[in-house]
Structure 1
Amino acid sequence: MDVLEQSLKKAFINRDLAGSKYDPKIIINQPEKKEYFLNILQDEIDSCEEFFFSIAFVTQGGLNALKTHLSDLHQKGIKGKLLTSTYLNFNHPDVFESLLSIPNLEVRISEKAGFHAKGYLFSQKNYQSFIIGSSNLTMNALKVNYEWNIRLTSYDHGAIIHQIRENMQQEWTQSLTLNQEWIQEYRQNYHPLIVNKEDLSVFEKGDDLSGYIMPNKMQQAALKNLRDLRIAKEKKGLVISATGTGKTYLSAFDVLQARPNKMLFIVHREQILMSAKASFKKIIGGSDSDYGILSGNKKEIEAKYLFATIQTISKDVYQELFSQDYFDYILVDEVHKAGAQSYLKVLDYFNPKFLLGMTATPERTDGYNIFELFDYNIAYEIRLQEALEEDFLCPFHYFGVTDYEVSGEVISETSQLQDLVATERVNFLLDRIQYYGCSHNQPKGLVFCSRKEEAKVLATAFIERGIPASYLTGDHTIEAREKEIEKLEAGQIHYIFTVDIFNEGIDIPKINQVIMLRNTESSIIFVQQLGRGLRKDPSKEFVTVIDFIGNYKNNYMIPMALSGDVSRNKNNLRQRTFETNYISGVSSINFEAIAKERIFKSINTAKMDSMAELRRIYQEMKNRLNRIPYLNDFQKQGVLDPLVLVNKFEHYQEFLVKIKESDRHLTVNEGKLLKVFGRELLPGMRQQELFVIQKILQGELSFTRESIKKLFLSNGFDADEETIDSVIGTLDLSFYVGSLKTNYAGGEFLRVEDDQIQVSETLKLALQNPYFVHLFEDCLSVSLEKSKNYQGHQPYTLYNKYRRRDTIRLLNWKEQMVDQNIGGYTYKQDRRQFVIFVTLHKEEDFKGALMAYEDELLDENTLHYFTKSPRTIHSPEVKILQNAKDWDIYVFAQKSNDEGTDFYYLGEVKPDVTTIKQVEKSVKDGKKQSVVQMNLKFAQSIDSKLYKYLTVSEG
């Protein structure tokens, strides 16, 4: 049966038939599952050879979500068409300007009355696909609104596709061509007849525009916690909150509920004093005389609510004007600076009834412990992802853009200044900046550079091209900075080029564009710079972030910063790069294809487990917890994947000893037990072993097969005899062979004698050591949490990663096979199970094979596969694959051998017997050997994002 015919039968006649990429699909935005119409649309664009959109309503935000994909198509010479309208005057003139800047997009305007079409047509290789439904090209429609769309596929000669094309072409020929003259006339006559909802939501959630302000959701929770702290007689509290989430209003609300006689608000810049004072007045009310400023210019010290710069209040002459308990309530803004001597001096002097600290980034590089300063009382914490989910911040569109190449060399950390500021690079930067644009097309941008001289020269180059700009570095005075900021907000200049000085502590709400022309030094700095544009303001609908990605070693920090996943798990970072639907609300993350490959390369080569990095992360955790952190602390906080530690060290205690954080010692066998648990059970791939360990920790020292069966069934898991055998074989280590068996000897959890299943003497003895028990329970907690990522009722979970030995163990095979003996595949005749491992992009000197195998994913449903060599059509495994009806065949794949020893599980397959063919291929000595090639068909189509990641070769 033809694949498309089968898909149509599956959709409309029998849903139990096997699926394919041709399957009709209902598309509904499901934010709780991170499933969006946007992702389907992007996937279709990425693989198409031509496209035609007929869309009534388009916004700049909706268009932005497709720009990197359209840019990648442009690099391939692929073009498309967009037919839109002026129906209800929904489309803003600015969006037509943005449409005109896309070189591979031809745009026309329908004059048909009531044009309200929503159709997306794609010419794919060998077929046509089209999406029709309720979604316009707006970010709300693409990600947030409850919309219904259906995706259908057709061959070129299908009746429906013929009707669609005919109608589209007819409308196209009767429409107007978009050009500057048309836009100018439209702008002059533009009067929106309906309110574009995406132009709203520019105020903080909770704001009442009539003038009375109520706390938003974040502020309400924080206020309750602060009140509870004071009830508990605590004198200090720390609020960790992303820039732009309303920290100043929060502090004003808390002063209102605490009702101090005197309050002191400390900041590090005079500009912030005035805005903070105005915010407090809005919330608390009262007369102007209640509010005062203490700074270099003003000395209004009699005020009930005093707003002071740290530079002034830290001087002896001003401190002596107040008794130590003069202020009931002291608030410190940007409190992560409090390790500085001026702050410590002030905080040592005053003794308020309550001290509140606020910061977006409590982590410090100088080792100072902000958490300790506030008695470890975290009243509230909300980071970037949560703030976006709650709509506290301005939406943003992040574009990871390929930086300029000079003579075949990509811009990198070592590039010479003349390359960074070369005329060709400036022209390239301007082209990309103008392509990705900004809200309403009038930039108010911050450009972060790597060097002072670069900032200066690039600002001059922009000015020479008619773009007003300036530059600021640490050499400029506060007054000079304030002056340039005023010019930017007034529109007198479009860009400020800077080096680091605007990472934090600067409030320019009108910024609508952030440009990054530097290596990402840390995820913290990245988020700080991104945050410069995230404060909401009526002048913008969104912020455009353009990150020019060169050949930087630290590119792996980009997905780390955007996702908030700082676990140092390389697989997670790869996923955060090829699958960016984790970002909430109407924000989007987009990488150009080559920029994405540069990030993958950086992830592959990065050393995530250096001692310096592990020590830094450990110290941050210790600072936060006020105690030694353990593996489950890292797991819960998400700051380091415990697997990074257990794979680098024998066990966690070895790490603690190495960094001189513990002088306790374990016996050799106690260490072995922890090592085996960490290397084999910590990933949580199968819960049954963990149930047995849990029982042991609860005091059970012997088992029967029947008691183990009841244990598994009571937890709702498989309890067949084979699974019980496999679990016992794992825990008594009889499963393991070769070097692992030798290395693990002494780390047995169970021993089996004459059908008696006992806790091993080694473990019994270890359980008498309370410290070992603590470490053992810590490991169990981590593995139980990690096990939630696996489906417990089948051996493998799609798209998770497994080592070769894991795949065999989870199939309940009695004994491990050494990886080298498995190679590309292994099978068990008596169990009718066949496991295949494929490396899709092998290095030229790949040591895993004598032959250059050309295994290839042809599409989301098909793997073109080669057997080992030498093999013929009569080899045993080929005979199996020719008659595989009652066999389970599992495929695991990795993109390249740079990814280590684990493989993505892609699913079950069946061979297409019509493609099985014996061929001759060259081996390393120049001779030929026979192999057998075939196409393997997946029972379920591979996830499109993972498919793209695995198939795009690294640039």
Structure 2
Amino acid sequence: MNNLLEDFNQSLHKGFIDRTISHKGNFMPKLLINNKEENVLSTIINELYKCKSFTISVAFITESGLASLKSHLYDLNQKGIKGKIITSNYLGFNTPKMYKELLKFNNVDVRLTDVNGFHAKGYVFEHEHYASMIVGSSNLTSNALKVNYEHNILLSTQKNGDLVYNVKAQFDELWEKSSPLSNAWIKEYELTYDERNLKNAIRITQEQNEIQNNIDQAVKIEPNIMQKEALHSLAELRKSGKDKSLIISATGTGKTILCALDVRSYNPNKFLFIVHNEEILRKAIEEFKKVLPFSKDEDFGLLTGKNKAIHSKYLFATIQTLSKDDIYSQFDQNHFDYIVYDEAHRSAAKSYQKVFNYFTPNFVLGMTATPERTDNLNIFEMFDYNFAYEIRLQKALESEILCPFHYFGVTDYVRDGKATDDFSSLTDLTSNERVKHILEKTQYYGYSGDELKGLIFVSRKDEAKDLAEKLTLHQVPSRALTGEDNSEKRQEAIEQLKSGEINYIITVNLFNEGIDIAPVNQIVMLRETESSIIFIQQLGRGLRKSDNKEYVTVIDFIGNYEKNYLIPVALSGDQSQNKDNYRRFLTSNTVLSGVSTINFEEIAKKKIYDSLKQAKLSAASHIKQAYNEVEQRIGRMPLLMDFIRQNSIDPSVIYSSESNYKNYHEFLVKSKKIEDQLTENEKLNLTFLSREIAPGLKNVDHTILNTIIERPHKIQELLTLAQKVDPKVTLKDIETTLKILDYSFYSVTINKTYGEPIITISNDEVTLTKTFAASLENLLFKTYVEDIIQLAQYNNTTHHGNQNRLILYNKYTRKDFVKLLNWDKDESSTIYGYKSKHNTLPIFITYHKQDDISDNTKYEDEFLSPDELKWFTRSDKTLNSKEVIEIMAHKEKNIDMYIFVKKEDSADGKEYYFLGKAHYLEGTAEQTIMPNEKKNNVVTMTLSMEKPVQDEIYRYIIEE
């Protein structure tokens, strides 16, 4: 307890008196805000993750705010951890449905206070030996937890501290005077709430009607910011003489309105809109009429099986009808000025091709959410590789075009105490136990709005039909739809869902695209994720905004599937194939802008971790697939930068140590994309440039290389030029780069790996070596080099802030550290766990050790908190060892200590997260023996982080 008191004293001293001191203790006050790097929600989740119990006292709570905590409260319930919430009906802000959601938490007691003007915003978390609390401006609403400009303070105190005592005493007093939340109270509250809202709705409707009457004759839909950008791009394409273009737009982002806006601007004499589905066609006409309000109804016509309005100015046709020889031949080839192919990824099919090749309009526009195809047909080629604009899911969410969503990765049915994905028979897929499990999860995670309107995606047609019957028997009216159902039956089911006659439509892949059911407020995925494209298509079915919902609930039942790793790929939009990026994504609450959240139950998350461990994301098949997709998009052999521009794999995957290729040229040759036209030395030089320059670690590397390629320069000239790019560049930075380029930085055997050096230095003048200069005469080699320099510049700007220094939370290898800190030579292979040199002490820690490593290297380094790290020296060291004495005196000797940590070898390879500088805490060094053996002395000590490790990355690292 004395140590705990000392920890608090030092933490408070740092927090309130002197921020520069090293402190012992993990109780430092912290300001909580919402920005791209952190948010209030992350800290609340982190405290819940660590606590033994919790109490929350807030006036205002929204369903969306609760949704962002549901999976975490579920996991706490599994661990037996309980909490209390006090709220009220102050100002009538809280909805009756929100109160019903509160009653779902088995481990949370909820009470209502009738204190007049109750406006509290406090969160208290009980830990084993201390308590922490968040007080400030944040209610339990999604906007307050993730978006709004908020100020909150996280404080920690001893359990008998006066501050926490007073807060808890006030809470306990209020708790005793408050009434338990009950269904009876909610029913009573609903009456007054509905009456008040009805009056407000009538008043608002009257005001809106008055305004509408004044502007009805001047209605003109205007584009949102993303549509404006796309429209500008379309106009520029036409100005440059292009007559075809492709728009790639995420589901729900308004691509039909965008198209109508462009048509309004273009003003064609005759216009044709083509799609495969009559429901989509009718919806498109409605959208066009909104954008073209002064057009007459007779200007719009349908060309379908039953409708043949072929003389309409704006003709909307199904491809099934239009592609018939006796139909399209009725039109002159140049009859239409402007043709649109909606769901353009289908336009490579024969029926579309027949129409596409017949008509010769002035302009053709293709629109799709998913242009990638699994066959060999290339729609990019059809539209002359002209991209007007691309709107992906993440960008659309950032622009608030789509409805926010709360995604929940939940555990699939557990049979006989074991999670299973072996649903080989219909009996297993729709067993009573699994149906009960599905209902429990869907009801717990719920939906936004007053009435459930959901889509369920399953793996088999018979499963859809059987599940619909069983859900209906459980008082959840449902209907199955399959490809066997005609258009009338589909439309009938959609209307039943919209009207509330049924709660679910259950299908296999029928609604992956094209169907617009805006009121859908719950998406349920009851099948394995086989494709990230289909995953996003299905999730997108609920992302259209609608008055009946504030957000969409997405519930994904995750079994022991081989391709579970595709889930973070799809949700993040990150095609880099970097396993650690995907693992970290699973614990992050900052990856999506706005109030949307990604949540995984612990067991479900582990299933994805297991899948990632087994997946070979750098396999040749993945690289070839990425190459083919990019080649299809651009119509030529891609260069490395093309993978970046097309949001494809990280180019470094191609030539990583885990792949089969040392450089991009080797991949192209082995894949038979090109003939080998390089010398052996040129290929080795490409390997050097790919692995040492392309990562963009330092901006001086690519700047100097590019400068020397142009002409020779003096070293001082190079410094001057580099400082124009970055004023912080030092002569030492320049010298390190020159050592890298002339290979003097490396061992004497480096030529076997990297070939002849790139530069030579004589009389302070830097020139290209004759060998490298001669190689640049080879046009292919020169193209590769210029591409790598561009990639290095991109990587440095994007990932390293256009700097030559360590960036907090970036990932680095030991060699990266040596380069950035300008060591004389590459001594990375001898750093091992740590090494003190050039007034720097880098410490590299693998947090979760593999079982098969030797006992004398199985150090039990451990974070005691985000502020403190218990660290082990090498074995065979005592308190009297010279090395240990120097480490403890590192501050007096002006030696900077840098902490690098990776979660585990299988996830991170050679890269470690840089977590900042640290300092030895006086008096914490102890001499002991290695934990896993009875010999070999070792010294442990506590290191204090200069900055507490960010909540999300801290939780990611320490989680098993």
TM bucket (normalised to shorter chain) is over 0.9
> Which amino acid is the alignment partner of residue 243 of structure 2?
K
Q: 1:418 to 1:808 in 2, by over 3 A?
A: farther
Give the alignment partner of residue 734 of structure 1, picking from 723, 726, 744. Answer: 744
User: How far 1:295 moved relative to its partner?
Assistant: 1.0
Residue 415 of structure 1: how far off its partner (Å): 6.0
CA positional deviation for 1:655: 1.5
Tell me how far 1:134 sits from its aligned partner. 2.3
Tell me the residue number matched to 1:691. Answer: 703
Match of 2:625 in 1: 616
Matching residue of 1:854: 860
CA displacement 1:425-469 (0-9 Å, x = unmatched): 322222111111001253211111223333333333323322222
Shifted more, 354-363 versus 12-21: the winner is: 12-21
Q: Which residue of 1 aligns with 2:73?
A: 70
Instruction: Determine whether 1:874 maps to 2:880.
Output: yes
Q: Which residue of 2 aligns with 1:558?
A: 567
Q: Which residue of 1 aligns with 2:45?
A: 42
Unmatched segments (≥5 aa) in structure 1? 201-206
Shift of 1:945: 0.9
Question: C-alpha deviations, 1:93-134, integer Å up to 9, x for none?
Answer: 110111111111111111122222222222234322222222
Match of 2:890 in 1: 884
Q: Does the 8 Å CA contact 1:737/1:818 hold for their aligned counterparts?
A: no
Structure 2 partner of 1:460: 469
Distance verdict in 2 for CA 1:911–1:513, change over 3 Å? same
User: Could you say which residue in structure 1 is the equivalent of 2:251?
Assistant: 243
Aligned to 2:380: 371
How far apart are residue 60 of structure 1 and its match? 0.6
For 1:928, the equivalent position in structure 2 comes to 935
Specify the alignment match of 2:162 in structure 1.
159
- Alignment partner of 1:266: what SS? strand
The one-letter code of the counterpart of 1:326 is: H
Say if 1:747 and 1:72 are closer, same or farther in 2 by CA, change over 3 A: farther
Shift of 1:795: 4.4
Q: Does 1:476 align with 2:481?
A: no
How many residue pairs align between the two structures? 934
Going from structure 1 to structure 2, the CA distance change for 1:192 and 1:378 (only over 3 Å counts) comes to: farther
Does structure 2 retain, via aligned residues, the 8 Å contact 1:865–1:934? yes
Q: What is the aligned partner in structure 2 of residue 938 from structure 1?
A: 945
Q: Are positions 1:148 and 2:157 aligned together?
A: no
Q: Using the alignment, how far apart are the partners of 1:663 and 1:597 within structure 2?
A: 45
The 2-side partners of 1:667 and 1:413 are apart by: 53
Structure 2 CA distance for aligned equivalents of residues 773 and 250 of structure 1: 42
- 2:31 is matched with which residue? 26
Shift of 1:408: 5.0
Native 8 Å contact 2:860 2:931 kept in 1: no
State whether structure 2 residue 816 is matched by structure 1 residue 817: no
Q: How far is the alpha carbon of 1:340 from its aligned partner? A: 0.9
Greater shift after overlay, 482-491 or 391-400? 482-491
658-667 vs 287-296, greater mean Cα deviation: 658-667
CA 1:144/1:850 → structure 2, altered by over 3 Å: closer, same or farther?
closer
Cα drift, residue 695 of structure 1: 1.1
CA offset at residue 418 of structure 1? Answer: 4.6
Work out whether 1:582 is the aligned partner of 2:594: no
Tell me: CA distance 1:41–1:747, structure 2 relative to 1, closer, same or farther (3 Å): farther
- After superposition, the Cα gap between the structure-2 partners of 1:416 and 1:931, relative to the gap in structure 1 and judged at 3 Å, is farther
> Residue in 1 aligned with 2:271?
263
Task: Mark the CA change 1:408 to 1:680 in structure 2 (over 3 Å): closer, same or farther.
Answer: farther
2:657 pairs with 1:654: no
Q: TM-score, normalised by structure 1?
A: 0.93
Deviation, structure 1 residue 517: 1.6
Deviation at 1:419, TM superposition (A): 4.2
Cα 1:744/1:718, change in 2 over 3 Å? farther
- Once residues 282 and 718 of structure 1 are traced to their aligned partners in structure 2, the CA distance between those partners, rounded to angstroms, is 55
SS in 1 for 2:84: strand
* Equivalent residues in 2 for 1:425-504, closer than 5 Å: 425-440=434-449, 442-504=451-513
Please state if 1:17 is matched with 2:21: yes
**CA positional deviation for 1:708:** 4.0
**Counterparts of 1:865 and 1:15 in 2: how far apart (Å)?**
23
Are 1:218 and 2:223 matched, yes or no? no
The match for 1:716 is 726
Contact 2:856–2:930 (8 Å) recurs in 1? no
Question: In structure 1, what residue type is equivalent to 2:850?
Answer: E
Give 2:518's aligned amino acid.
P
SS of corresponding position for 1:53:
strand
Correspondence 1:23-172 to 2 at 5 A: 23-30=28-35, 33-172=36-175
Say if 1:688 and 1:717, in contact at 8 Å, map to a contact too: no
Which amino acid is the alignment partner of residue 239 of structure 1? I
Matches of 1:687 and 1:802, distance apart in 2: 16
Comparing 37-46 and 512-521, the one that deviates more: 37-46
Of the structure 1 ranges 348-357 and 860-869, higher mean CA displacement relative to structure 2 is found in 860-869
Cα deviation digits, residues 50-108 of structure 1 (max 9, x gap) = 22111111111111111112112112111111111111211111101111111111111
Contact kept, 8 Å, 2:450 with 2:548, in 1: the verdict is no
SS at match of 1:532: helix
CA drift of 1:556 comes to 2.0
Q: 1:264 to 1:728 in 2, by over 3 A?
A: closer
User: How far does residue 664 in structure 1 lie from its aligned partner after superposition?
Assistant: 4.9
Code of the residue aligned with 1:218 in structure 2: it is M
Give the letter aligned to residue 687 of structure 1: N
Q: Distance in 2 between matches of 1:644 and 1:755?
A: 37
Whether 2:790 is the aligned partner of 1:781: answer yes
Structure 2 residue aligned with 1:278 = 286
* CA-CA distance at 1:810 after TM superposition: 2.7
Contact 1:29-1:37 at 8 Å conserved across structures? yes
In the alignment, which residue of structure 2 is the partner of 1:667? 679
- Structure 1 residues 911, 420: closer, same or farther in 2, change over 3 A? farther
Tell me the distance in 2 between the aligned counterparts of 1:227 and 1:709.
Answer: 44
CA shift digits 1:621-678 (9 cap, x unpaired)? 1222222211112123331111111223221112222222222511111111111111
Q: What's the counterpart of residue 864 of structure 1?
A: 870
- Partner of residue 799 from structure 1, selected from 789, 809, 830: 809
Do the aligned residues in 2 keep the contact of 1:236 with 1:375 (CA within 8 Å)?
yes
Code of the aligned partner of 1:367? N
Give 2:743's aligned amino acid: L
- 1: CA distance, partners of 2:454 / 2:853: 47
Confirm whether residue 302 of structure 1 aligns to residue 311 of structure 2.
yes
Could you tell me how far 1:850 is from its partner in structure 2? Answer: 4.6
Q: Deviations over 1:713-751 (max 9, x none)?
A: 44335555644443332222222238x725325241223
Note closer, same or farther for the CA distance 1:674–1:483 as it changes in structure 2 (3 Å cut).
same
CA shift, 1:562, in A, is 1.4
Superposition pairs of residues 530-569 of structure 1, within 5 angstroms: 530-569=539-578
- Whether the 8 Å CA contact 2:872–2:938 is kept in 1: the answer is yes
Q: Quick check: 2:60–2:87 contact (8 Å CA) kept in 1?
A: yes
Supply the AA of the counterpart residue of 1:735: F
Which shifted more, 56-65 or 629-638?
A: 629-638
What are the residue-to-residue correspondences of 1:404-415 with 2, within 5 Å?
Answer: 404-407=413-416, 409-412=418-421
Where 1:541 maps in the other structure, the secondary structure is: coil
- AA matched with 1:70: L
Is the CA contact 2:531–2:566 (under 8 Å) kept in the aligned structure 1? Answer: yes
How much has 1:270 moved relative to structure 2?
1.2
CA contact (8 A) 1:89 1:194 kept: no
Do the aligned partners of residues 710 and 286 (structure 1) sit closer, same or farther apart at CA in structure 2, a change above 3 Å counting? closer
Contact 1:24 1:153 in 2 (8 A): yes
Deviations 1:832-852 (A, max 9, x none): 4322222121222136x6553
Shift in Å, 1:34: 4.6
**2:690 aligned to which of 678, 692, 702:** 678
TM-score, normalised to structure 2, is: 0.92
Q: Distance in 2 between matches of 1:791 and 1:348?
A: 48
Q: CA deviation at 1:423?
A: 3.1
Which residue does the alignment assign to 1:227? 235
Give 3-state SS (helix, strand or coil) of 1:826's partner: coil
**Aligned partner of residue 927 in structure 2, secondary structure:** strand
- Cα gap change, 1:904 to 1:65, in 2 (>3 Å): same
The one-letter code matched in structure 2 to 1:223 is: L
CA contact (8 A) 1:55 1:118 kept: yes
Give 1:228 shift.
3.2
